[in-house]
Chain A
Amino acid sequence: MQEDLLRALVPQVLAVVVRRYGDFDTCEDAVQEALLAAITQWPAEGVPDNPRGWLITVASRRRIELLRSDTARWRREALPPDPAPDVRGDDELALLLLCCHPCLTAVSQVALTLRAAGGLTTAEVARALLIPQATVGQRISRAKQRIRASGARFAMPTADELRARLTGVRQTLYLIFNEGHTASSGARLHRAELTTEALRLTRQLRSLRPADDGETAGLLALMLLTDARRSARTREDGALVPLAEQDRTLWDAAAITEGVEIITAALRTCRLGPLQIQAAIAAIHSEAARPELTDWPQIQILYAMLHALSPSPMVTLNGIVAGAMVDGPVAALGELARVADDPALAGHHRVPAVRAHLLEMAGDLPAAREQYRTAARHTLSLPERQYLQSRAARLT
């Protein structure tokens, strides 16, 4: 409970403090320290009557101390009065935009977003990203240096720039979601936190945006529909379960209903974009009670549209798999042979996995086995390797 409260308050507090003092870099460190103070003090002393005011006061004080340790000229500065709790919706959006500023690398955006906009402690970010705390701390302080050097400010951009920058924010949120979503065992507990956090921030982003922002709606729907399959997509031992073999009664029906509603409304009223198409594909899978009821022709059309709007190796390969369900594996193998030499696909680790799947469908089991083995050697994921090895073993 207290954690939820803090995560909601941290970005608001940071926005108030930055708006008042201007120096994002030091303010963000100060708010992180206020957060750590709250985590240690509140359980013992109780949550203050005005938790936001408490955090703002502590952060303001810590900011002075941080600056004091930097330079002696702050030594005599009196503590300024507490800023009025002035909370505007735009603040949270401006904060997300700053954390996902295009001057930053993707990994820096992820770390900074989780801490400054997500209200996680450095230790929590480190546990979730599976890297040491000191390394996370460095990523965040470098990101802030870079923001300062770029002259980026904590402010709302013009409407045109906002549209362009939101694409970057959505990419970062989706990256955070996938980091958590694809964790299949071991570190799942901490990594799942990334999924929750990405969903929360995407919901927040959607509530701050006008109703015509179809891509943010698409992203939220895509996350909900993907996350709905979480308990079905891995077995207890961590083994991956392919979509066709998942126990669909384990899917989260409430999340599916919400995701389908969001994407249906967006498709009706908004300009189409790649995230909406991906969400629509996920919705079609979700609506099939059994794999054989899947509307593959519709999925095939959606992949063709996605390919036209936003081509990528995974879109091509998934489109070929959908095509196999409509036109059969032989046609799909021909299509795969046609695109496999494309430089974007050559050497992509999923190519032999898709070929193996198609060969298995076509009944050429020895060739399928060989391709599964090749695919197992190419993947960088341990659960995927185990899955592909077990598919190969199943065919012997």
Chain B
Amino acid sequence: MKYLILIQSNPRTLEVWEQMTEEQRIAFGRAHRELDAEMLRAGVHVASAGLADPSLARWVSVRDGEAIASDGPFAEVKEHLAGFYLIDCPNMQEAVAWAAKVPDAVNTEVEVRPVLDMSGGEF
């Protein structure tokens, strides 16, 4: 089973970030890299990434067959996806245990979502 661990950025997480010392921020980044390595060693890692600032995002839509990329009217959005871990492990309980190791979970919280797979039992 695959699970996506989502790390959101919002006013609350920003406040925690603002209050961190430089050393704490460095340790925070290192903890993410170490978690990556730990997931790989454990054989559960599928993919992980931190996302660039949402100001660099483009919103894409297709109208009349034409693709339009814009900055988006969503500047006022208070929460955005800041990063994720995609892992492959047997059940939600283990996924939750991995999520608890994400540095952000200590400061605020992270979300774990099961990923739909292409299996299908017979009815």
Contact = CB atoms under 8 A, between A and B. Distances in A.
Contact of B118 (A136, A229, A381): A381
A184 B115 CA distance: 16
B88 A131 contact: yes
Nearest to B117: A381
B42 interface: yes
Interface string A349-392: 01001000100000000000000000000001111110100000
Given A106-B90, A135-B88, A383 B43 contact: no
Interface of A: 105-108, 111, 129-132, 134-136, 138-139, 142, 179, 182-188, 229, 233-234, 238, 240, 242-243, 350, 353, 357, 380-385, 387
Contacts of A233: 122
Contacts of B46: 131-132, 135
A219 to B, nearest CB: 18
A278 to B, nearest CB: 13
Interface string B34-67: 0000001111111100000000000000000000
Interface residues of B, number: 23
Contact of A380 (B42, B88, B116): B116
Given A135-B44, A138-B41, A183 B123 contact: no
A187 B120 CA distance: 13
Contacts of B115: 380
A186 to B, nearest CB: 5
Given A135-B88, A242-B123, A381 B116 contact: yes
A390 B120 CA distance: 14
Interface string B78-100: 00000000001110000000000
B122 A185 contact: no
B25 to A, nearest CB: 28
Contact of A184 (B1, B43, B120): B120
Given A183-B119, A380-B114, A383-B119, A132 B45 contact: yes
